[in-house]
Chains A and B, each alone.
Chain A
């Protein structure tokens, strides 16, 4: 579910980075005042555990397929929401840098999708209330399943909104949601059961670990619902804005016009690029009436794009050649030295 850089627009990437940075700053502020210094190495190690834990594939009975854990709810249950959010952020950054899992620009979106909902929405308002009255294996299991399913669905839904607002994929909204929701419900169910199993085991062996984070004397857990709703509202407005921008410029919902997709006014100021875009666009307008074999005016419009594509190939060759040249020169120098 990690989004890649190539699938977000600069605007969406930037907004999500800002939103996540806000949540990180707030968590850091909370942790700074209230966190036991003992918890700092624990958070680091737990981040590493989640990282390694995601690589353990388990077999799902009756399906022949395998799954792995996500870890947002697990971390929140063991560390509390604020430290869990920070630990997840570190994991996601490392995954983006070393494993090309998500990108640097999409990092904000990924932190939001995989961390925000789990730590600040589902954990405090679903998970904790369920186990608050009494911590029992059944309650832990139920809380885990419900929480993981919810957190995952919210995250998946955000992926849909962010991708659509970025205007990169042309999947219609309904189809996209229809594809993402059932898959993530199923994944969430399996992951929720496993998360429950892990937490029940930990509870049986070391009950104080769960109890302390559920009650948490040192860290105040009162997350203000106003703040969470406020942040969600901003998210909704921005994404809604991005989507309606697209929708208004695409009355038929399929043909995505240049301006709507790019969504940035600066693009229009760009001479060559804009012209090129306009050329491509122009050629569609001519489409129904003309055959492509005749080389009229519209032929030249298409010719530009075609020659542009050949030019693109030559550009790539040039780039490759430059790289090779640098290698060759370096090698020669090494030999001489």
Chain B
């Protein structure tokens, strides 16, 4: 099934990217987590009619992608998947708010169009920021940081375990699906009436798998607690990055570069 292979590819390619060794990859995960969250908050805090102020935030993903040597194609592909929902939410603005905002030459532009563009730009920026985070910081690294901000251990264990087994389960589903389709060549997908048995089988197999995993963990000394290495402290470059990037981002929020450039025209 194409979606399953695609998901596997996505996870694999993002995992590979996260293994890079650039200045961004080497930064402390906590620093990247904080700056990403700050970026997201600042971007979505713009009101729906201010698209000029928003533009300067394009610098962040573009510079980070260049510094971290992240290839454009896979990220853009993910982005395309995320866009449709925002597109339809934004489309309603065009329909429901037709009040004229400005004219570009002979072309009228309504507030609805402006807020539509704003939603799309925000979607692109926020999705890019999150993808860049995961493409430069592996999920285990992020999860360990969650521990240091007092996220309960059991949640972190959940994230790690689920993440570990997603690719295993996806492969299993893919095999089961192939087996099904080979026996039902005319079927476009699994018939609804077979879903109970199909997913039910998957569940039963997974219960057994979980049992085996538990036994294997037990054999290796698991007593209900994961052991974690102490996370490394922030070094000078981390602090520098944190201060610099949050400073610049905050400045960008309050200084409209587009208007500034526009004022010279």
**Residue ranges of A at the interface with B (Cβ–Cβ < 8 Å):** 2, 4-10, 13, 24-25, 28-29, 31-32, 35, 37-38, 40-49, 51-53, 55-61, 66-67, 69, 78, 86-87, 89-91, 93-94, 96-101, 103-105, 163, 167-172, 190, 193-194, 196-202, 205-206, 209, 254-256, 258, 261-262, 264, 267, 270-273, 276-277, 280-281, 283-284, 287, 292, 302, 304-316, 318-320, 322-327, 330
When the two chains form their complex, are residues B78 and A99 in contact, meaning their CB atoms are under 8 A apart? yes
A-B contact pairs, 18 of them (CB 8 A): A5-B127, A32-B152, A40-B158, A41-B161, A44-B164, A49-B169, A97-B134, A98-B11, A104-B40, A206-B207, A273-B53, A280-B101, A280-B102, A304-B262, A308-B52, A311-B52, A311-B259, A312-B262
When the two chains form their complex, are residues B162 and A272 in contact, meaning their CB atoms are under 8 A apart? no
Task: Note all chain A residues with C-beta closer than 8 A to B194.
Answer: 58
Task: Note all chain A residues with C-beta closer than 8 A to B254.
Answer: 270-273
Query: What is the bound-complex CA distance between A308 and B65, given in angstroms?
Result: 26
B21 lies within 8 A of chain A by Cβ: no
Nearest neighbor of A97 in chain B, beta-carbon distance? B134
Query: What is the bound-complex CA distance between A315 and B264, given in angstroms?
Result: 13
The 8 closest A-B pairs by CB, nearest first: A44-B161, A197-B196, A311-B262, A201-B200, A307-B262, A28-B152, A47-B162, A37-B224
Query: What is the bound-complex CA distance between A96 and B104, given in angstroms?
Result: 37
Question: Among residues 82 to 107 in chain B, which have CB atoms less than 8 Å away from a CB atom of chain A?
Answer: 82, 85-86, 89-90, 92-93, 96-97, 99-104
When the two chains form their complex, are residues A305 and B101 in contact, meaning their CB atoms are under 8 A apart? yes
Chain B contact residue count (CB 8 A cutoff): 128
A173 to chain B minimum Cβ distance, whole angstroms, is: 12
Task: Note all chain A residues with C-beta closer than 8 A to B239.
Answer: none
Task: Note all chain B residues with C-beta closer than 8 A to A206.
Answer: 204, 207
Task: Note all chain B residues with C-beta closer than 8 A to A163.
Answer: 89
Nearest neighbor of A264 in chain B, beta-carbon distance? B45
Query: What is the bound-complex CA distance between A58 and B1, given in angstroms?
Result: 12
Task: Note all chain A residues with C-beta closer than 8 A to B96.
Answer: 170-172, 254
Nearest neighbor of B202 in chain A, beta-carbon distance? A49
Interface SS of A by simple majority:
helix
A143 to chain B minimum Cβ distance, whole angstroms, is: 15
When the two chains form their complex, are residues B207 and A89 in contact, meaning their CB atoms are under 8 A apart? no
* Beyond A104-B130, A194-B192, A194-B199, 12 extra complex contacts between A and B, CB < 8 Å: A48-B166, A52-B4, A87-B158, A93-B159, A169-B90, A171-B96, A205-B200, A270-B254, A280-B111, A284-B100, A316-B58, A318-B59
When the two chains form their complex, are residues A69 and B199 in contact, meaning their CB atoms are under 8 A apart? yes
When the two chains form their complex, are residues A57 and B189 in contact, meaning their CB atoms are under 8 A apart? yes
Given the known inter-chain contacts A51-B169, A264-B45, A326-B67, please indicate yes or no for A255 contacting B99, CB distance below 8 A: yes
Nearest neighbor of B36 in chain A, beta-carbon distance? A104
A207 to chain B minimum Cβ distance, whole angstroms, is: 12
Nearest neighbor of B161 in chain A, beta-carbon distance? A44
Given the known inter-chain contacts A4-B82, A100-B82, A261-B48, please indicate yes or no for A190 contacting B192, CB distance below 8 A: yes
Contacting residue for A53 out of B154, B191, B199, B210, CB 8 A: B199
When the two chains form their complex, are residues B55 and A312 in contact, meaning their CB atoms are under 8 A apart? yes
Query: What is the bound-complex CA distance between A196 and B62, given in angstroms?
Result: 47
When the two chains form their complex, are residues B65 and A42 in contact, meaning their CB atoms are under 8 A apart? no
When the two chains form their complex, are residues A97 and B139 in contact, meaning their CB atoms are under 8 A apart? yes
When the two chains form their complex, are residues A105 and B40 in contact, meaning their CB atoms are under 8 A apart? yes
Task: Note all chain B residues with C-beta closer than 8 A to A94.
Answer: 139, 159, 162-163, 166
When the two chains form their complex, are residues B196 and A194 in contact, meaning their CB atoms are under 8 A apart? yes
When the two chains form their complex, are residues B58 and A307 in contact, meaning their CB atoms are under 8 A apart? no
Interface centre among A40, A45, A318 (most CB of B within 10 A): A45
B147 lies within 8 A of chain A by Cβ: no
Task: Note all chain A residues with C-beta closer than 8 A to B36.
Answer: 104
When the two chains form their complex, are residues A276 and B202 in contact, meaning their CB atoms are under 8 A apart? no
Task: Note all chain A residues with C-beta closer than 8 A to B245.
Answer: none
Contacting residue for B7 out of A55, A59, A168, A193, CB 8 A: A55
When the two chains form their complex, are residues A7 and B89 in contact, meaning their CB atoms are under 8 A apart? yes
Nearest neighbor of B60 in chain A, beta-carbon distance? A319
Interface centre among B86, B123, B258 (most CB of A within 10 A): B258
Nearest neighbor of A48 in chain B, beta-carbon distance? B165
Nearest neighbor of B128 in chain A, beta-carbon distance? A100
Query: What is the bound-complex CA distance between A174 and B119, given in angstroms?
Result: 22
Query: What is the bound-complex CA distance between A308 and B260, given in angstroms?
Result: 8
Task: Note all chain B residues with C-beta closer than 8 A to A277.
Answer: 47, 49-50
Given the known inter-chain contacts A42-B214, A255-B99, please indicate yes or no for A168 contacting B207, CB distance below 8 A: no
Task: Note all chain B residues with C-beta closer than 8 A to A91.
Answer: 162
Nearest neighbor of B33 in chain A, beta-carbon distance? A104
B30 to chain A minimum Cβ distance, whole angstroms, is: 15
Task: Note all chain B residues with C-beta closer than 8 A to A59.
Answer: 187-192
Nearest neighbor of A200 in chain B, beta-carbon distance? B196
Query: What is the bound-complex CA distance between A304 and B265, given in angstroms?
Result: 10
Contacting residue for B154 out of A31, A55, A105, A318, CB 8 A: A31
Contacting residue for B203 out of A25, A198, A330, CB 8 A: A198
When the two chains form their complex, are residues A261 and B152 in contact, meaning their CB atoms are under 8 A apart? no
Task: Note all chain A residues with C-beta closer than 8 A to B192.
Answer: 58-61, 67, 190, 193-194
When the two chains form their complex, are residues A205 and B204 in contact, meaning their CB atoms are under 8 A apart? yes
